[in-house]
């Protein structure tokens, strides 16, 4: 008898939800180039670049038959306009109610409410019928779950046959990992990391989001995708660095951006295949295969 995949614990989901409920404005500012001086420049650079690459991977396989896209962990609706511009109606879900409130309010302000549908829900229990979406994006979300099986099962279920999904994860064997004790312990596994650095609610309140974000062995994740009927067809990795010692970056954000951009350029050269795998941010386009 096969066992049902385990979901995240309610306590963990609550921590994540509270953290993001408290950070709606902060998350929007991450994408606001005018607010760079007030925010972490390197992290802003990372998410802005990530968005560029997500849309690039999406456009590479664009099909005229696409009608519906689901943005899982949509936050305050960061991708809404770009997805609408691609001719699809947009559904967005998020566990954080305040994120959804903001997404709805932005859609109203822009007069887009007839083509967007936002609701509070978890990736582990999507309130949609089977085979409903042509496209799913799940950006910056899986790293907050304790296990991925239920989420991938749900993504597979609501995706149409031949549908595609863009999924991101944090690669634990990236260039920045090896100088940083915290990252190295995370490589061993989230359980070990939790033993050394137990999760407590004051970490959440200190906005210490890294504390409850996990990173992945990319090869293992590929295999996990396969077991859920999802096949990786292309990927882009980026964010090379920052080089840090015990979570303290050695260089300034501006220097880190220059370094990561240089390495990123080199990583795109075909004959440097290994470098391509060493970005921290790993963005995949996956296809629903016909058989599980
Ligand atoms: C790092 S933010 C990314 C937001 C947006 N996707 C982006 O790329 O800008 C992660 C989002 O995922 C949401 N999230 C976390 N766990 C979730 C879950 N189990 N189901 C749905 N959303 C979740 C959070 O509330 C948050 O809004």
For 104-131, write each residue's pLDDT tens digit: 999 999 999 999 999 999 999 999 999 9
Q: Half-sphere exposure of 34 toward its Cβ, with a 13 Å CA cutoff? A: 1
Band (pLDDT 50/70/90 cuts) for residue 170 is very high
Decide the pairing of beta strands 133-138 and 68-72.
Answer: parallel
pLDDT at 42: 87
Tell which atom from ligand 1 comes closest to the C-alpha of 21: 25
Domain count, the chain: 1
* 95 pocket-lining for ligand 1 (C-beta < 6 Å): yes
pLDDT at 1: 39
* 122 pocket-lining for ligand 1 (C-beta < 6 Å): yes
8 Å CB contact between 107 and 170: no
Domain holding 108, by residue range, is 10-172+215-240+273-288
- Domain assignment present for residue 223? The answer is yes
- Domain assignment present for residue 199? The answer is no
Exposed e or buried b per residue across 177-208, where buried means at least 16 C-beta atoms within 10 angstroms of its C-beta: beebebbebbeeebeebbeeeeeeeebbeeee
Band (pLDDT 50/70/90 cuts) for residue 275 is confident
Name the residue with higher pLDDT: 73 or 273: 73
Name the residue with higher pLDDT: 43 or 205: 43
CA of 151 to the centre of ligand 1 (A): 13
List pLDDT tens digits, range 177-231.
766 766 677 666 666 666 666 666 555 444 456 666 788 889 999 999 999 999 9
Give yes or no for residue 86 having a pLDDT over 90.
yes
Name the residue with higher pLDDT: 25 or 244: 25
SS3 138: strand
Give yes or no for residue 82 having a pLDDT over 80.
yes
Q: Which protein residue's CA is at the shortest distance from atom 8 of ligand 1?
A: 139
- Domain assignment present for residue 185? The answer is no
H/E run at residue 86: none
- Domain assignment present for residue 105? The answer is yes
- Domain assignment present for residue 148? The answer is yes
- Domain assignment present for residue 126? The answer is yes
Q: What is the CATH number of the domain that holds 55?
A: 3.40.50.150
Share the mean pLDDT of the chain.
Answer: 86
pLDDT at 266: 86
pLDDT at 32: 84
CA of 275 to the centre of ligand 1 (A): 28
Lowest mean pLDDT among 17-26, 85-94, 235-244: 235-244
List pLDDT tens digits, range 133-146.
999 999 999 999 98
8 Å CB contact between 123 and 141: yes
* 54 pocket-lining for ligand 1 (C-beta < 6 Å): no
- Domain assignment present for residue 255? The answer is no
Give yes or no for residue 2 having a pLDDT over 80.
no
- Domain assignment present for residue 195? The answer is no
């Amino acid at each position: 008898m096969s066992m049902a995949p385990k979901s995240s614990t309610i306590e963990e989901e609550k921590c994540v939800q509270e953290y993001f409920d408290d950070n709606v404005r902060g998350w929007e500012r991450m994408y606001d180039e005018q607010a760079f001086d007030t925010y972490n420049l390197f992290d802003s650079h990372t998410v802005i670049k990530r968005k560029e690459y997500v849309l690039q991977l999406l456009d590479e396989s664009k099909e005229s038959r696409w009608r519906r896209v689901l943005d899982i962990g949509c936050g305050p609706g960061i991708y809404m306009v770009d997805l609408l511009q691609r001719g699809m109606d947009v559904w967005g879900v998020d566990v954080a109610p305040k994120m959804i409130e903001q997404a709805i309010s932005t859609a109203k302000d822009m007069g887009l409410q007839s083509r967007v549908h936002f609701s509070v829900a978890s990736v582990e229990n999507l309130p949609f019928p089977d085979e409903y979406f042509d496209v799913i994006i799940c950006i910056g979300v899986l790293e907050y779950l304790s296990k991925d099986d239920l989420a991938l099962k749900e993504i597979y279920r609501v995706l149409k046959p031949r549908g595609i999904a863009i999924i991101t994860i944090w690669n634990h064997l990236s260039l920045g990992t090896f100088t940083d004790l915290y990252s190295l312990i995370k490589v061993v596994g989230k359980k070990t990391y939790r033993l050394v650095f137990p999760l407590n609610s004051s970490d959440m309140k200190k906005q210490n989001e890294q504390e409850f974000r996990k990173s992945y062995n990319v090869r293992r994740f590929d295999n996990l995708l396969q077991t859920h009927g999802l096949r990786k067809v292309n990927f882009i990795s980026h964010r090379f660095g920052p080089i840090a010692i015990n979570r303290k970056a050695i260089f300034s954000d501006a220097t880190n951006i220059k370094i990561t951009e240089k390495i990123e350029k080199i990583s795109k050269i075909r004959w440097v295949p290994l470098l391509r795998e060493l970005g921290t941010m790993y963005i995949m386009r996956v296809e629903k295969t016909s058989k599980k």
